A and B are shown apart, each in its own frame.
Chain A
Amino acid sequence: MPDYQWPDPEHRTLIGKRVARVDSPDKVSGQARYTYDIKRPGMLFGKMLRSPYAHCKVVSIDISAAEQMPGVKAIEIVQKQGSTIHWAGDEVVAVAAVDESTAADAIRAIKVKYQKLSHLVTDNEPPPGAGEGQGPMSWDDLSDMLDNQVPENQIVSQLQQYGVSFKATEDDLKGAKEEGVPDAVIDAIRKAPVHPDAAGKTKSNYQKAATQTQGEVDKAFSEADAVSEGLYGAPVITHCCMESHGSTSEWTDPDHLFVHISTQNVSGIAGQMAEPLKIPAANIRVHQDHVGGGFGSKFGPDRWGIVTAALSKKAGGMPVRLMLERASELQVAGARPSAFARVKVGAKQDGTLLVWQSQSWGTGGPGGGGMPPIPYCFAVPNQRKEHTAIRNNIGPARAWRAPNHPQAAVLTMCALEDVAAKLNMDPYEFFLKNIELTKLPNVYREEFPIAAELIGWKEKWRPRGQNISGNIARGVGLSLHTWGGRGHGSDCDLSIHPDGSVDIKMGTQDIGTGTRTCIAVVAADALGLQVDAIKLYIGDTQYPPSGGSGGSTTPGGVSSSTRRAVVDARDALFAKVAPVLNAQPDDLEAKDGTVRVKSDHGHSLSWKEACSKIGATPITCHGHNDQAAGKNKPDLTNSGVGGVQMAQVEVDTDTGIVTMKKMVAVQDCGLIIDVKMAESSVLGALIMGISYALFEEKIMDPITGRMLNADMEFYRLAGLNDIPELKVHMMTGKGYDERGVIGLGEPPAVSPGAAISNAVANALGVRVPFLPITPDKVLAAMRQSSAQKAGA
């Protein structure tokens, strides 16, 4: 039985060490090729005409002038006359032309008439009584959900839960199938209960979910020594990937498509393009070397990806590149749902948490959205929760690093910090007092003192509002978080060649998290080589499939499949080499560029010599990690991590400007393959967190229904000067390593908003309710607080 288990610390040469990112030299020298950099022979340039209105009907489209312009090669109407458009910036007509400026001119020559409809683009607290239960679904609701790229399983579950307001005939369903409605949805329509009386009713924008209750809420509040009530929230933010979404598509023959696409999901793209393009997935080749950021927004081909392929088809198969312009990237290619809540928390004098009550709301765009997982991490014994999802016209939501967790952390950790303040308790003591309510009490108990030491919590923490000198208020705050992170399904082909070279083929992608490095470290460690001896081929559907890079599933997936492949290949090599060394295969080891007898290091062959014994055909082994946890024996990946973060801020009480002074993160992620990459991930998450805590918000104009800050000047990202001293401590060694490999992209991005908000509250003595904590909000919170004090 091959020994797939991760080597113990004494037998690791590279795993758990600090190895430099293997594709760094390509990136720093400008050699790394991204989808945006791909230029195919004869390539045409695509441009999109987008709706100026947030909610409207397309009355007419006149493309005649554009069609006649020299250099225009294809025009594709994306949403035909009569279509209803649900957000500004939605795709209407696409053009491909010989160069970009000709395409832009053609777009300007297209005349579209719209009938404006009333829109809602805000996500303010729902007016009392506005929330309605979701009624039975109409055909329109269904087409909207399909148009809005609502996930199939979500549509199916709503159909099962709420039924439909129409009776669908088999002909209707056949038509729907021809239009590309997935089979699962058609099946769900067929089985859904029919409520014809619900037809024709106008749906509310406010969809209220059933109240969730556990324990005895009212009794618990009456027994609480301190009750704190507050308002908390995080707005819609956008992903703002540096490389915008987009692709280059070309038909290599009438049935075969070649796609370069900016994606987090190389192996999964062809399957998603097959149905709309009506060709088998196997006829679609997808390729990507590097991707300029995704953060959860790049899992599908998107409507514009399908349109790009359609333009190419119309242009006789010529390659067409269509990358989103920056404004569109911010308007339509990614938004994190908002979440706000009125929260009431009760606790005993000793800090014991008793009860949680919340009325929350938020928007995920046209689809509404769900309640974030609150109370977050802490299973408060008594709870009453109501949530209203706001369906509005801001454009569809997408997964954003740790979907729903950062919002849940803000709603929860800030509310808990407030009740701790009411009890005059140090939140450090308060959170630890209740740590048994979390799923990982031992992890947090180890992490808390480390984080406190790194930031100097004991010296820096003062009760609220008691560290103000002149116009500078100083404070510290903390938050904790959790995530799953089990490895996804992954397949790997690893070859050892007779010349000593080693290559790996895997249809994964490196989204900047160090996936290439992770694979190379795992392989090189097992073969006793350095990482540069491993040649990596990733990012192509011609290689064995590997899961999309989302949910922190990549490190566990690719490391497990690589480990299995490399152990098998190494053992096969040992079997060939053993007779030469007069030893048994089990007595051999691959170390320091040699294959040698474990008990007699002098008895060895150089790596190259050893490989020369392979014969003419390379050793190729396949490694597989199953998506289902139970199917992997042994299991090399795991799930469930904890992290603690602490922030130190200064707030200028005259200007309301928050300055970060220091931030620390202590994080567990099981066995760490490369400490350097892991630390970079956490540092990046802290920086991204500072950015959304202090600066980021997708600002919608209620009058025009458009995004007001769809550029990088007014959609402000943190710059180098906004970032203070950062400290990262990764939990390693006993209790962590033996758990196996767990992903890290999401967890450290969860806590920054809550930790920073808590630090600001600690500094000012008053809560600034919503992120981003901009100067206007700071000053407003201070004014409101002094008005209340004056009134009291």
Chain B
Amino acid sequence: MRDDDSIQQGPREPVEDRSGVSRRDFLKISTIAAAVPVVAGPRVVMAAGQEVRVHGPGKVPVELSVNGKKYKASLEPRVTLLDALRDSWDITGAKRVCDKAECGACTVLLDDKPVYACSILAIEVQGTKITTVESLMEDGKLHPIQQAFVDNDGSQCGFCTPGFVVACKALLDRHPDPTPEDLRHELSGNVCRCGTYAGIRAAIAQIARKGA
């Protein structure tokens, strides 16, 4: 999908000798960390000429802002945003399907941009605004895009639906009157097995007409 420009990535290049942390050092760090209490603060090492905080292994404190509320947990750094949402805080609207950024069922908004929650570590999105499908309803009333899904039967088994709803919301936020090309681009990252695309397309058309 389109999460590539939304997150500050760590160094992409393979870490070389000059970086100050070799594979051997990393293994040493692992050993040390394994011996210290389960929750430990990050250790700072030099990588690519920059100071890099090394978290874990072992659990570290993580605090996320989800749907306007703070959530805390003690998580291993390898835990994804998706698993943190689902398994630590029981926020289960985003679904785990492919678990490797292929199907879009876990789509959430990160600072209003749609991303795959299965392919982001929880620890790396502290301090950003995370929005899930659960927050789209206001005062018990469905968001217009949700209502349009209901009106046009945009779900069958419904397992891909939360991901589609979030992706459609992001699409309409960016393109209130989307062209077919916008649809092609913005919804190409979500997959449905039951075959609800006709309903989803009709749902978007309904909203676009209303200009919501």
Which residues of A pack against B, CB within 8 Å? 20-21, 23-34, 36-37, 39, 99-101, 240-244, 290-295, 323, 325-326, 511-514, 676-677, 680-681, 683-688, 691, 711-713, 717-721, 723, 726
Contact = CB atoms under 8 A, between A and B. Distances in A.
A688 B194 contact: yes
B157 A290 contact: yes
Nearest to A713: B102
A167 to B, nearest CB: 49
Contacts of B76: 101
A477 to B, nearest CB: 20
Contact of B157 (A99, A293, A676, A720): A293
Contact of B196 (A243, A511, A684): A684
B199 interface: yes
B155 A37 contact: no
A711 B153 contact: no
A159 B157 CA distance: 39
A720 B183 contact: yes
A453 B86 CA distance: 49
Contacts of B196: 680, 683-684, 687
Given A242-B160, A292-B95, A712-B102, A720 B153 contact: no
Nearest to B183: A720
B153 A719 contact: no
Contact of B195 (A101, A677, A684): A684
Contact of B87 (A100, A242, A244, A717): A100
A28 B193 contact: no
A325 B97 CA distance: 8
A28 B137 CA distance: 10
A37 B192 CA distance: 18
Contacts, number: 178
A707 to B, nearest CB: 15
A761 to B, nearest CB: 24
23 contacts: A21-B153, A24-B158, A25-B146, A28-B142, A28-B165, A29-B134, A29-B136, A30-B94, A31-B134, A33-B92, A34-B95, A36-B95, A37-B86, A242-B103, A294-B157, A511-B157, A514-B156, A681-B156, A687-B196, A713-B100, A717-B193, A719-B191, A721-B187
B55 to A, nearest CB: 14
B98 A27 contact: no
Contacts of A726: 198
Contacts of A713: 98, 100, 102
Interface in B135-152: 136-137, 142, 146, 149-151
A443 to B, nearest CB: 24
Interface in B145-190: 146, 149-151, 153-162, 165, 183-184, 187-188, 190
Q: B interface, how many residues as a size bin?
A: 35 or more
Given A242-B193, A683-B198, A30 B159 contact: no
A683 B134 CA distance: 28
Nearest to A23: B158
Nearest to B159: A292
Contacts of A719: 187-188, 190-191, 197
Given A28-B133, A687-B192, 14 more contacts: A20-B153, A27-B155, A28-B165, A30-B92, A36-B95, A100-B83, A100-B87, A242-B157, A242-B159, A292-B159, A293-B194, A323-B96, A677-B153, A721-B187
A135 B185 CA distance: 57
Contact of A687 (B154, B188, B197): B197
Nearest to B83: A100
A687 B94 CA distance: 24
A687 B198 contact: yes
A369 to B, nearest CB: 24
B153 A676 contact: yes
Interface in B73-93: 76, 78-79, 83, 86-87, 90, 92-93
Contacts of B97: 242-244, 326, 712
B112 interface: no
Going nearest first, the 7 A-B pairs with the smallest beta carbon separation are A30-B93, A687-B195, A292-B159, A512-B157, A27-B158, A684-B195, A512-B156
